[in-house]
Structure 1
């Protein structure tokens, strides 16, 4: 049986990369809905339809578990998915809790897509932590298409980030939370543009921790096995492997 990872495009590869390292004996499926990316600018109804279409396809693969490796899809559809399927479904949650718990008297900046920032799920998470008075929000929606185009180190990327992050009084902030899996490709670029004392947090490790509590680990195979799909069609592994290679190189910095 396989563990499937679903995302609107290539963002969920950052979660898969974490899982490959920590669960080397597993067989994985990756479904990137790149033909319909980005999700963050779509309506809730459009996203729900796309997510259920993808999950119906994946459910035929006899899954051990499904990771909805997309913050926007999680906020819109994960509850309905859990009501529909009986295999474990793990969603994404921005790392706001660890950011807030270690922030002392400084603020936390949560970066996400347009729709995630509008969703009740995010507001509820912040309110449950009694953190409404210390959390600010910033859309970095433009990073999604830059990631989809593999413009990870392009001049356009730096220009966009400089524009979005300029003028922020970093002395007031303790942490920045990357609330979209696409954003993690740009961690090093963001690091260069913010104050050194500001921590950069994401929810990937916590998501894989959750996954590991829900499945029984397999013994290590001779080589990793990953099946790739783009919007329901078999995909060339090279398209996705270049992102995994980039993440490995970034990790070595």
Structure 2
């Protein structure tokens, strides 16, 4: 069985890393839409078209399940994809706001969500926060530079550190108990964030929950056979062989740091 995983760029490798750890004996086909990264600063209509085109091409590779390893892409196109491919198990992502709110109930502290500007502008995000945040403890912060930093493999440079400090300056971090990484590119910055943030702040993202749902769905459909070789095939829409090698390096970085 081949599990397809799709993102605008390297962010989805955070989900792939978790999938390999939890579901090791399947094969994976990872696609990065490098022609159009980043999604988070583009219009909803543009991104919708990019997603449909890329997934259409992925289907030519006989994938048996699809993970949309991108919060922005999920918000924009998951329902359309499920309509177009009704027999394909499709897993989307959303920022881990619900578990963050539940974890923070006992602390009395607030939750801060990092996400792309487009994700934060979509009705799906506001519906999520409205549904789970009865106490009004969730704040949102657009972090548009993090995807370009990640795509350049700048995870802990002085430039990145200064950007975080600048963005966080208006917030009293003593008021916050959890930061939600609402984009799959953002977990690359966990080591740097742990240096910057007060020790009482937890950092959560959606990769673990997404892979758990994937595993459950595969079992439900009787597809979790574990007969693959654990092979990973990388592809990007620019057909750039160097970028594919960089993705392999990025996956190694994630696995080495257990991100």
Fold match (TM-score > 0.5): yes
* Residue 102 (structure 2) pairs with residue 96 (structure 1): no
Mapping for residues 241-252 of structure 1, pairs under 5 Å:
241-251=248-258
State the shift of 1:213 in Å: 1.0
Is 2:49 the partner of 1:49? Answer: yes
Q: Shift of the alpha carbon at 1:154?
A: 2.0
Which moved further from structure 2: 201-210 or 228-237?
228-237
**How much is the aligned-residue C-alpha RMSD, in angstroms?**
1.6
Give yes or no for contact 1:110–1:179 (8 Å, CA) kept in 2. Answer: yes
Q: Is the 8 A contact 2:101 2:133 kept in 1?
A: no
For residues 159 and 234 of structure 1, do their structure 2 counterparts lie closer, same or farther at Cα, with a shift above 3 Å needed?
Answer: closer
Match of 1:146 in 2: 149
Moved more, 127-136 or 73-82: 127-136
Q: What is the Cα deviation at residue 249 of structure 1?
A: 2.1
TM-score (norm 2): 0.92
Where does residue 58 of structure 1 map in the other structure? 58
- Asked if 1 retains the 8 angstrom alpha-carbon contact of 2:34 and 2:238, the reply is no
Q: Deviations over 1:12-69 (max 9, x none)?
A: 0000000011111101000001221100000011000000000000111222110000
Secondary structure of 1:36's match? coil
C-alpha change, 1:186 and 1:120, in structure 2 (3 Å) is same
Structure 1 segment 12-91 matched on structure 2, within 5 A: 12-86=12-86, 87-91=88-92
Unpaired runs of at least 5, structure 1: none
Distance 2:158 2:82 in 1: 41
Offset, 1:151 = 1.1
Normalising to structure 1: TM-score of the pair?
A: 0.94
- 2:179 is equivalent to residue 176 of structure 1: yes
SS at match of 1:42: coil
Q: 1:225 aligns with which of 231, 239, 242?
A: 231
Return the match for 1:195 from 198, 202, 214.
198
| C-alpha contact 1:12 1:70 (8 A) present in aligned 2 | yes
The worse-fitting range, judged by mean Cα deviation, of 165-174 and 114-123 is 165-174
Question: CA–CA distance in 2 between the matches of 1:145 and 1:114?
Answer: 13
Give distance in 2, aligned partners of 1:141 and 1:126: 20
Q: Does residue 240 of structure 1 match 2:247?
A: yes
**Cα separation, 1, equivalents of 2:32 and 2:45:** 19
1:153 deviates by 2.2
User: What number of residue pairs does the alignment pair up?
Assistant: 251
Q: Is the 8 A contact 1:57 1:232 kept in 2?
A: no
Gaps of 5+ in 2: none
Per the TM alignment, residue 234 of structure 1 is displaced from its structure 2 partner at its CA by 7.1
CA distance in 2 between partners of 1:132 and 1:34 (Å): 39
Partners of 1:119 and 1:73 in 2: how far apart? 11
